[in-house]
Amino acid sequence: MKKGQIIGNAVILVFFLFLLIDSLKLHEIRRFGEMGSGFWPILILSISTLLSAFLLFSSILKFRKGKENEEPEETLSPEDLASRKKQRNIVIFCAAVTLVYIFAMQAIGFALATLLYVLAFVFVLGERRKSVLIVSPVLVTALILVVFSRFIAMPLPKGLGFFADLSRFFF
Amino acid sequence: MLEHYLAAFGTILLPQNILAMALGGLWGIIAGALPGISTSMGVVLLIPFTFALSPITAFTTLVSAYCGGITGGSITSVLFGIPGEPSAVCTVIEGHALAKQGHAARALWIFIIASAIGGIFSVFVMMVATPLIANFALQFGPPEYFALTLLGLSVVSGISGGSVLRGVLSCLFGLFLAMVGTDGITGVERFTFDSVILLGGIELVPAMVGLLAFSEILLEAEQPFTEYKGSAHYRGLREEMPTFAEYLNHWVVLAKSCVIGTISGALPGGGATIASFLAYGEAARTSKHPEKFNNGAVDGLMAAEASNNASTGGSMTILLSLGIPASNTTAMLIAAFMIHGLQPGPLLYSQRPDIIFGIFVAMLVTNIFLVALSIVGVRMFLQLNRLPYAVFSAAIMVLCVIGAFGLRNSVDDLYIMFVCGIIGYFMKKLDFPIAPAVLGLVLGDRAELSLRRAMLLSLGDPLILVSRPISAILLAAAAFSILYPIFKKSKMFRES
């Protein structure tokens, strides 16, 4: 049992406990002869809290048992550690780029935001070939625009000001 | 009934539905073939394309993708020895062995035809069984519906992934997500934390796209899939086409596998994977040439493929007649029904026979079509495989964003997708299965509403849930599906 898993299980317990406490205020909201808005949430969150406490407890026990039995801890070479850190950074960058994309498409419009997003995403994933970096964003954006804007007629975000005019040029 | 079938054939054979079937089936084959994109993820990503379509065209697309996904999972198994889907593991053993002997095209033919036989058989069973089960389920009241929903939730929680506890917790998290928003009966805000975004509740599609697809891309970003780099070689498909007599020689194996697959697919939690293992095991046990197993046994390959495709009809029978999902992909299909304003279950059969019969016919025609589509799919897959992985991931991410945005054209849904994606990523890292959470979200509303109605009926007496025989049996089955894996695990632990 890894320490990270114990921390994860503890976070789950705190999450459900917080929600359970929050749900208690719903207990009294009901009409005559009705089950009310609070019964189901309190029931579900009570079970969730109990089970997550059990999960945390059993993971701590497993961790201690592993230590008592002197099970060898996972040892990583400096290269493995560096590669793990690199992998973690890639995930963080991917998530960050996606969040920026969501914000950006409202301001600069779907077409331009998608073009930049695909370029950034492909780059973050390690692609360095110039041809791929140039062609893929244009191709993916064009395909998506044709299918969703022309064919399905989905009203995609056009952006603000100058960018809205630019978007109208494409869709 | 005949007029319903004639009308359904008339509708399904319209050009737009044939096109929907071809595109859906091809997408399913590609999604099933690519590791990192499961059939259920393929169906979820296809849902936004169906927003603008009529319900019948939408479901033709989705069920074609479902059937195609199960078939497509075997392409990589045969060509590269890597199962695109868990249900294609047995196909790797026999199909790839044949490929290594230089008979990849022969293995492809065997799996394509056996898949079609399994799929078509299960559709005929579905056509007979769905009306019978749906008519029986018309007797159900709120207590029975609550028990039935609980059974669906418990079965998927109990079997998905290794730990039952994690499965149940994942399902409870999904039930919590379904509670967020304004309570439809009292009008009270629940868990909105004064956020306007959460007032209307958590929409199914953004949450599903986040939990299933976005999280998967993040996970794949850690370790991009690069094992396909060697290209597959196979002799022309025409030269290695097996004869009809070859299938006839193995008719017993095919028949048994079809039955095993359909029954396994209909059992909640059974699905294609268990079906293929059971049928493969049975084929190995009764084979005249057991020595050929693990070394390219044709009957083993046929058994695995006929059974995993037969499971689709079994799963759809339970979905259409009772409204509960028997597999992950049918859980996604429930969401698609809801998006199109339909509620799968016994009432759908009596209220919208056009949809039900349309799905029957669409699945039948799709399974015949899949023979041709699979051949196109193999060629397309070999081309797609040359695409840089990063570009493919980026395209899928844009599809995720469009899928989440397209339902209500709201950027708020993108935030929900993003948060659910991050949660899904950590759930996967901590070994929590995602399917029960999605199922909890899909069925949460119905479970709560049925319970509240049952309590109203009984004036607050909870015994109504166990005093009615059908409800009691279903609740007992739900308890069994949770407790049995725990009991089995503890027994194994004690024995070891």
Instruction: For residue B339, give both structure tokens.
Output: 């998006």
Judged by CB atoms closer than 8 Å, whether chains meet at A106 and B411 is answered as yes
Facing residue for B165 by CB, picked from A36, A51, A117: A51
Q: Which residues of A touch B390 (CB under 8 A)?
A: 121-122, 125-127, 132
Q: For residue A122, give how far its alpha carbon lies from the nearest alpha carbon of chain B (Å).
A: 5
Low-confidence winner among A27-41, A95-109, B431-445 (lowest mean pLDDT): A27-41
Among the listed residues B458, B419, B364, the one whose alpha carbon sits nearest the alpha carbon of residue B210: B419
Cα–Cα distance between B256 and B306 in angstroms, integer? 9
Q: Does position B174 have pLDDT exceeding 90, yes or no?
A: yes
pLDDT tens digits along A142-163: 988 988 888 777 888 988 888 8
Among the listed residues B419, B428, B472, B380, the one whose alpha carbon sits nearest the alpha carbon of residue B31: B380
Q: Does position B484 have pLDDT exceeding 60, yes or no?
A: yes
Element (H, E) at B277: helix B271-286
Q: For residue B52, give how far its alpha carbon lies from the nearest alpha carbon of chain A (Å).
A: 6
Judged by CB atoms closer than 8 Å, whether chains meet at B190 and A23 is answered as yes
Judged by CB atoms closer than 8 Å, whether chains meet at B191 and A127 is answered as no
Within B385-458, residue ranges assigned H as helices are: 389-406, 412-429, 435-457
Instruction: For residue B117, give both structure tokens.
Output: 């036989």
Predicted pLDDT of residue B39 = 82
Mean pLDDT of chain B: 84
Reported as a pLDDT band with limits 50, 70 and 90, residue B228 is: very low
Predicted pLDDT of residue B247 = 81
pLDDT cut 90: percent of chain A above it: 47
pLDDT tens digits along B351-383: 888 899 999 999 999 988 888 888 888 777 777
For B412, the closest chain A residue by CA position comes to A102
Q: Does position B230 have pLDDT exceeding 50, yes or no?
A: no
Facing residue for B394 by CB, picked from A48, A118, A153: A118
Q: Which of B157, B177, B401, B431 to mutate to test the interface with A (most CBs of A within 10 A)?
A: B401
Among the listed residues B28, B111, B64, the one whose alpha carbon sits nearest the alpha carbon of residue B280: B111
Q: Which pTM value belongs to this model?
A: 0.82
Judged by CB atoms closer than 8 Å, whether chains meet at A19 and B402 is answered as no
Element (H, E) at B71: helix B55-80
Spatial CB neighbours of A151, under 8 Å, sequence gap ≥ 6: none
Mean per-residue pLDDT, B218-247: 67
For B187, the closest chain A residue by CA position comes to A37
Judged by CB atoms closer than 8 Å, whether chains meet at B168 and A36 is answered as no
Q: For residue B264, give how far its alpha carbon lies from the nearest alpha carbon of chain A (Å).
A: 30
Reported as a pLDDT band with limits 50, 70 and 90, residue B229 is: very low
Extents of the domains making up chain A: 3-68, 78-170
Q: Does position B227 have pLDDT exceeding 50, yes or no?
A: no
Mean pLDDT of chain A: 87
For A49, the closest chain B residue by CA position comes to B169
Answer whether A154 touches B (CB < 8 Å).
yes
Beta bridge partners of residue B189, listed in sequence order: B182
Mean per-residue pLDDT, B306-319: 89
Element (H, E) at B182: strand B181-182
Answer whether A55 touches B (CB < 8 Å).
yes
Facing residue for A48 by CB, picked from B166, B169, B218: B169
Instruction: For residue B77, give both structure tokens.
Output: 């198994």
CB atoms within 10 A of CB B480: 15
Q: Does position A28 have pLDDT exceeding 80, yes or no?
A: no
Reported as a pLDDT band with limits 50, 70 and 90, residue A33 is: low
Residues 57-86, chain A, touching B (beta carbon < 8 A): none
Extents of the domains making up chain B: 2-495
- With contact defined as beta carbons under 8 Å apart, do B161 and B172 qualify? no
